[in-house]
Amino acid sequence: MDNKPYAKTLQDELDWKLLDQLYGVVAQISSFCFETKKFCVTTEFVVLTLMVKFTNGTLDHSIFVAAFVIPLCFWFLDATGYFYQVKLRGTMESIRQHLAAREGSTLVTAQGEKVISPERVSHSALKRVLEATFNHSMWLYAVLVSAALIVWALFIWKLIK
């Protein structure tokens, strides 16, 4: 058995640098998505509070439209970030596989797993967009949109005034 130490080629070095840069970008996008959720909730409450204040405490449809549209806009923004995280992780996995092929072994992440499942990256564009839009990290937006629609319906049915 040949136990030569791993010697990086120039291409390996470039790939490792690119992996490191992509990891940094993915981490920044992940942080951005978390901050987006916090900013959505803050924006929702600030805008609705100001609208109620400017309408002298009376309800009208504009308040409910705002309560509905604000989380939809943030949902779109967050889903876009999620979509690109998956895309970048797919690129990272491809680079990892190239490194492994050149070295002749299986390189894995620190946890012993691939960067991302190849199936998540190879789906059709429509399926990837749907997965980015509807996943466990988007529940906040679904709850805010649902609550806005329910309260708006109660207002329309004159159950609240």
Does 128 fall in a domain?
A: yes
Residue 2: pLDDT band with limits 50, 70, 90: low
Does 1 fall in a domain?
A: no
Joined tokens for residue 96: 């990892």
Does 76 fall in a domain?
A: yes
Structural domain for 44, as ranges: 10-157
Does 22 fall in a domain?
A: yes
**pLDDT tens-place string over residues 14-32:** 999 999 999 999 999 999 9
Does 149 fall in a domain?
A: yes
Does 15 fall in a domain?
A: yes
Does 2 fall in a domain?
A: no
Does position 4 have pLDDT exceeding 80, yes or no? Answer: no
CA distances from 146 to 25, 43, 129, 137 (A): 32, 17, 21, 16
Does 102 fall in a domain?
A: yes
**pLDDT tens-place string over residues 63-98:** 999 999 999 999 999 999 999 999 999 999 999 888
Give the total number of structural domains in the chain.
1
DSSP for 58-75? ---HHHHHHHHHHHHHHH
Contact 72, 145 (CB under 8 A): yes
